[in-house]
Chain A
Amino acid sequence: MKQLIYKDWILSRKTTIITMIYCSLIALTFLLIRISANCGNLSHDPMFYLSLKRNMYIMRYMPCAVFFLVLVDNGSIVKDYNCGWMRLCRTTGIKTEAIVASKLVYSLISISAAIVPVMIYTVSLCIADGSGITFGQLKNLCTIYFITLTAAFLDTFLSFLLKKAYLVQLVMLPAVGTAAGLMMMHLFNRINKLSAEPVADFDLLDLIRMEYAEPLSRMLPVIFIITAAVFAICFFASVKILKRREMP
């Protein structure tokens, strides 16, 4: 199985590393803004900083955004079908369970890799604030992480089921479209607030506040169990699909 994970790493390492770099740069940008707000130029304009403060929390939802970047590259299963790799695997003695497990484990690794910059940012932010990282913040991060993982596992299962990249993307389109729309709305709203005559606030993303995430993070053990259950269901269903699928 580790050789199959190695294969997926070889094929997607550029995308994964670039994703990590982007996340790190975004995290660093927000960190610099925070430091500036604490003791730099932005500290002279506390109102401007306060209007930015809420969007700092966006970083904690970064794994969701990263998931959508990973989604583009999780066409690895579809690529395996298209180039004949899946067919070749079926002609060898390797277990179908190993093939499916390698894909799910790789999803886990790539999501986890993307969350590293987010964790570094969160910890740095708390150190910069002098507030220290709280258990509540860790729970929030874990909640978002497990939800993102669940979505990644479902995407893997859909890729095994549907085979065609455009079909998987079609199914995920509502979620992708919603996330992209919210992010664009948030960005335009930020720019709008900086203008001389800002129009009325129209940012839906501002409604996603940490206090709303609290009830969800209290259900963290349940969310963890759901993630584990989704992993198991996706695994067994994908194995069954792959075993029964004809490779014409």
Chain B
Amino acid sequence: MKDIQNAIEIRDLTKKYDGFTLDNISFDVPRGSIMGFIGQNGAGKTTTIRLMLNLIKKDSGSIKMLGLDNTENEREIKSMISAVFDELPFHEALNADQLSVIMSGLYKSWDKMTYLSYLERFALPRKKRFGEFSKGMKMKVQIAAALSHGAKLLIMDEATTGLDPVVRNEILDIFLEYLQDESNSIFLSSHITTDLEKIADSVTFIDKGRILLSGNKDEIVENHGMIKCTNSQYKEIAPEDVISARLTDFGAEVMVSGKEKIEKKYSGLTIDNTTLEEIMLFYVRRKTKEWL
């Protein structure tokens, strides 16, 4: 495992449903990093995660996790990873203490002391039923359980969705601590781009079952820019340089990539920095090109 460069390697992964196809997606998650997997609802994030976890069967392609094929070495991989979902997968009648006993049967490397220390840190009651927990508490107990068996890879499916900013911040800090060990990696799917801007090293953007962008987060953000101009100035921009543009009566906001090249080409226009959220917003409308 020491020689593994990528925690996750996906090649030409395809899954077809009626009305939706995950179409030949490929990307890598470098070891020791956090990858943010972003896309709007229905883009294919959860499908991709379920394929990675072998919860659904792929039609074609390959998935390697921690250097091992995810179907041939399924049990070995799953003993080294943790999955965190957007909803609590534990029965609501259970409490945290009972969960520890149960999880010790699911993972050979279950560490009760680590689990209890997380419970204490998150101020979670040990005897209270999960049904009485708030959404934030439920997510914290899931994360406490996920981090308590020495997992080398955390796969999180919209784990911060629906949480208040304080809890989200707390959880994101935990992730950064988890990554202090460089052999650990996190794959975090979310449509909350502000979280990913805070902690992600790389991002992969998926839309309608296709990968639109994948790479270093800072490079992606720096490579894109927003031109705010008048409608008449917008008409002077070549269509092939425009990812998409929001047109109003007051002017145009134009998303461009290859910022340096565009700056030289259109020296009269100012290109502002952009955010992941804006990149996502403008990329999903790339086929429409112009929108309100």
Contact = CB atoms under 8 A, between A and B. Distances in A.
A94 interface: yes
Interface residues of A, number: 25
A11 B78 contact: no
Interface string A231-248: 000000000000000111
B280 to A, nearest CB: 25
Interface string B67-107: 00000000110110111010111111110001001111111
A248 B47 CA distance: 8
A90 B53 contact: yes
A6 B101 contact: yes
A84 interface: yes
B53 A11 contact: no
Given A7-B94, A247-B50, A87 B101 contact: no
Contacts of B53: 90-91
Contacts, number: 78
20 contacts: A1-B105, A4-B102, A6-B102, A10-B98, A83-B90, A84-B87, A85-B89, A88-B90, A90-B54, A91-B53, A91-B55, A91-B78, A92-B78, A92-B79, A92-B107, A93-B79, A93-B108, A246-B55, A247-B56, A248-B50
Contacts of B89: 83-85, 87-88
B285 interface: no
A89 B92 contact: no
B57 interface: yes
A79 interface: yes
Given A93-B79, A247-B50, A83 B91 contact: yes
A195 interface: no
Nearest to A3: B105
B55 A87 contact: yes
Given A7-B91, A84-B85, A90-B53, 11 more contacts: A3-B106, A6-B101, A85-B90, A88-B83, A88-B89, A90-B55, A91-B53, A91-B83, A92-B107, A95-B75, A248-B56
Nearest to A246: B56
A246 B57 contact: yes
Given A3-B101, A11-B91, A79-B91, A89 B55 contact: no
A181 B87 CA distance: 42
Contacts of B91: 7, 11, 79-80, 83, 85
Interface of B: 50, 53-57, 75-76, 78-79, 81-83, 85, 87-94, 98, 101-108
A54 interface: no
A2 interface: yes
Contacts of A91: 53, 55, 78, 81-83
Nearest to A84: B89
A93 B105 contact: no
Interface in A1-33: 1-4, 6-7, 10-11
Interface in A52-91: 79-80, 83-85, 87-91
Nearest to B108: A93
A84 B88 contact: yes
Which of A3, A85, A89, A247 has the most chain B CB atoms inside 10 A of its CB?
A: A3
A93 B75 contact: yes
A6 B100 CA distance: 12
Contacts of B94: 7, 10-11
